[in-house]
Chain A
Amino acid sequence: MESEIIWKMKKSKRGKEQSKNILISFLLRAGLAIAFFYAGISSFLAPTNWIGFVPNFIGAIISKEIFLMSFSGYQILLGIGLLFDYKTFMLSILSSVTLFLIVSGNIMSLELLFRDVAILFMALALISLSYKSKNK
């Protein structure tokens, strides 16, 4: 009887912990997805506002406009994947790399991009969270 009560308590504790993790994961994924959606959609609707953030060396390889459009599509797909909770561990690594490249490629505009550093750390938190839950 006593062990049953302890088991139930443990179960409910585990249940609470699990739903807490679900909420944290949802908030991180939704936050990242909103950031990627907004950037992707806005640069698709008004490319002139965003073309300045494309590093010059990319212009030497491919037209900046084409790169921006492709990058918009990539960001929207990334956002969809995160919202769907599809391969979250891999997508959060991809998000971190993407954000790291955005920040390091525009390090001179840090006064505009400093919030991306916070988003990068959100992606890192999601890596740690999804890795942990995978091994549990």
Chain B
Amino acid sequence: MEIIFVASLIVLAILGIFDSGYLIKKRVKKQPLSCPIDGSCEKVVESEWNAIFFIKNDFLGLFYYALILFLVLYLFFASEKLLFLTKIISGASLLFSLFLVFIQAKIIKEYCFYCLISALINLLIFVNVLFL
């Protein structure tokens, strides 16, 4: 297992945890998001698309990144048995991210910076997992 991809995956998972953690913190404390690009982060995160099966997307993201972190450490230190499962999970997550980007572009017609960052992280996680 190439160390470069393992280390990159850990870094990406940590960044993802920060990204989704920031969104959760702002939502729980009911603080406004500082949106650094032209677009309305609030409009996106408060839209009807902010949850799937009653679970908020930011929480789903946090769980996913924590799971990826656990899986990568398991794959590196214990066994490579779960590699296929990791590929499936990261692929499904990428598809879900692409769906959410599509929703932002076509339905809400606003972009959320932190959601786009999350989609980029998911893409990079998937690419790295493919090379493991």
A-to-B contact residues, CB < 8 Å? 19-20, 22-23, 26, 30, 33-34, 37-38, 41-42, 45-46, 49, 83-84
B36 touches A38 (CB 8 A): no
A19 touches B34 (CB 8 A): yes
Q: Which residues of B contact A37 (CB under 8 A)?
A: 10-11, 14-15
B-to-A contact residues, CB < 8 Å? 3-4, 6-8, 10-11, 14-15, 18, 34-37, 76, 113
| Shortest Cβ distance from residue A46 to the other chain B in the assembled complex, whole angstroms | 5
**4 closest residue pairs by CB, A with B:** A23-B36, A42-B7, A22-B36, A37-B11
A41 touches B7 (CB 8 A): yes
A20 to B113, CA, bound (A): 13
Contact flag A19-B37 (CB < 8 Å), given A38-B8, A42-B3, A49-B3: yes
Across the interface, B3 reaches (CB within 8 A) one of A22, A30, A33, A46, namely A46
